Structure 1
Amino acid sequence: MTIATVEIDLSAPVNLRDLGGIPVEGRTLREGLAIRTDDIAYATEEVVDELLAAGVSAVIDLRSARETAITGRGPLAGRPVSYHHLPLIADVGDTVTQGAPELGHEAMGAMYVGMVEGAAPQLVMALNIIAHAPGATLFHCAAGRDRTGVLAAMLLLALGADDDAIVADYARTGENMPAIMERNRPVMGAMWQARGIDIDAHAGSALREGSMEVSMRMLLSTLRERHGDPLAPLRAAGLSDDTVARLRERALPA
């Protein structure tokens, strides 16, 4: 598949937030540990400066190799942060064509389950990075919704957050979706166009109707139905009690 040269204007992320403040077992997750965002690869230099000043020392890139080939790492490439490419989906274009004709909330939930069960080693590595990075870890995909949402959910599960807190964080992306689609249109549009996919048709209808909470609740309930412990796929892939304890020590005040 050939993708034409894409003109990208650097811009501030529109779906960036620190996970600090989320309730966990009567306590509150501290700020400065984990930051989730939409594509950081074409953020402005000013945004990068602010992130480094906030203590970001590691970046986890959840995008596919095809996506990273289009935009690279952006301004962060020349900054003193560790970079970890941990794609949760081999080819994001396949998820669209396989979800045709409509990629609705239930289909997204099923895709999330596939990510956890199929990319458990990458998720374990991501949690270890967050546990041991000397500062804050920033993680992102393209929209900061799906792959980013799955990693955020696994982190919050490891910390002991309940389903309602996990779903509430995930659902915060909903109000940002119009801005996300506009910001990512040049990159995602070029990639999908090369596959003969109409971005406007797939980005619309089904995912704009109803509540996006359905997808995350489906992920959590399906993992419990299949495995009992929703973290079981990650534990089987090497998530240790020591890593979970380290995460909790770093994330939660005594």
Structure 2
Amino acid sequence: MTITTEHPLSAPANLRDLGGIAIAGGLLRQGLAIRTDDLSLVTGEVAEELVANGLTAIIDLRSIEEVQVTGRGPLGGQAVSYHHIPLMGKMSESLSGDSPTLTHESMGQMYLNLVERASSQLVTALNVIAYSPGTTAFHCTAGRDRTGVLAASLLLVLGASDADIVADYSLTGPNMPGVGQRTRSVLGPLMRKLGFDLDKLSAEGNLHKEGMEVSMQFLLEQLRTKYTDPLTPLRIAGLSEDTIAQLRRRAAEA
């Protein structure tokens, strides 16, 4: 369902093709997977450009609450497949306690929780990327946390090093001011509905300060410590060798 949004539309502030990252056997090719911030807020011109450049599938990792605010936006009118695969049932699942503090460390723990508790959704998303014919774009709202967990899962499957996964994740850092401005009209009211002040949470935490790589480093270190094979939670949830092989084939296509 496409919902017409009254929120300001703009180009993404945190969009990048994962192509060029070193993986098993070479470099990930351009045009397999794009990670980005909220695609429901793009302009019609951006939507048309993405499709013209090969976009055929969208994975929307946002919660039902977030989707109800803006729907699919202009891309809802384009000939692309849409897969709503929420990694959290509610926005409140990202906040712990009555007075949460958003820090790089607390976000790293949330990432681990997502991998362990939303492993089946991550496997579904990986299958969409594996078997969609063109480019798949995946996004949450900021394109940082849930999007970062899926990007890390994909890159682990493809054999990327932890250092390269962290490096890709860290590229979001300089984009956060733009992301915040772009998504404030959506996140602000949602947070207030939950009883939290977005500005206060940001001020008390450290998410807009240097060191955001700590979150992804925590996730990867914990996965290797707890499971040895960091893909174990995904394998348990149904990630098959066929899907892994298909992803690796598609990643290496000329």
TM-score (norm 1): 0.94
After superposition, give the CA deviation of every residue in 1:92-129 in whole Å (9 maximum; x if it has no partner): 23423538331111100000000000001110011111
Mapped contact 1:62–1:88 kept (Cα < 8 A): yes
The answer to whether structure 1 residue 249 and structure 2 residue 249 are counterparts is yes
Which residue pairs with 1:196 in the alignment? 195
SS in 1 for 2:39: coil
Alignment root-mean-square deviation, CA: 1.6
TM-score (norm 2): 0.94
> Displacement of 1:26 after TM fit?
5.7
Which residue pairs with 2:158 in the alignment? 159
After superposition, give the CA deviation of every residue in 1:22-65 in whole Å (9 maximum; x if it has no partner): 11146111000000100000100111111101111010000000
Which residue pairs with 1:216 in the alignment? 216
> Displacement of 1:207 after TM fit?
1.4
Which residue pairs with 2:229 in the alignment? 229
Which residue pairs with 1:127 in the alignment? 126
After superposition, give the CA deviation of every residue in 1:159-179 in whole Å (9 maximum; x if it has no partner): 000001100000000000011
Which residue pairs with 1:42 in the alignment? 41
Mapped contact 2:48–2:78 kept (Cα < 8 A): no
- Distance in 2, matches of 1:9 and 1:194, equals 20
- Distance in 2, matches of 1:27 and 1:94, equals 38
Runs of 4+ in 1 over 3 A off after TM superposition: 97-101
Paired residues, what number? 250
- Distance in 2, matches of 1:192 and 1:101, equals 12
- Distance in 2, matches of 1:98 and 1:69, equals 25
| Letter of the structure 2 residue corresponding to residue 114 of structure 1 | N
Structure 2 unmatched runs, 5+: none
Q: 1:124/1:99 Cα in 2 relative to 1: closer, same or farther (>3 Å)?
A: farther
SS in 2 for 1:58: strand
Which residue pairs with 2:142 in the alignment? 143
The answer to whether structure 1 residue 116 and structure 2 residue 115 are counterparts is yes
Mapped contact 2:61–2:147 kept (Cα < 8 A): yes
- Distance in 2, matches of 1:71 and 1:89, equals 17
After superposition, give the CA deviation of every residue in 1:178-200 in whole Å (9 maximum; x if it has no partner): 11011000000011112221111
Mapped contact 1:99–1:107 kept (Cα < 8 A): no
> Displacement of 1:245 after TM fit?
0.6
Mapped contact 2:10–2:42 kept (Cα < 8 A): yes
| Letter of the structure 2 residue corresponding to residue 129 of structure 1 | V
Mapped contact 1:61–1:83 kept (Cα < 8 A): yes
Which residue pairs with 1:13 in the alignment? 12
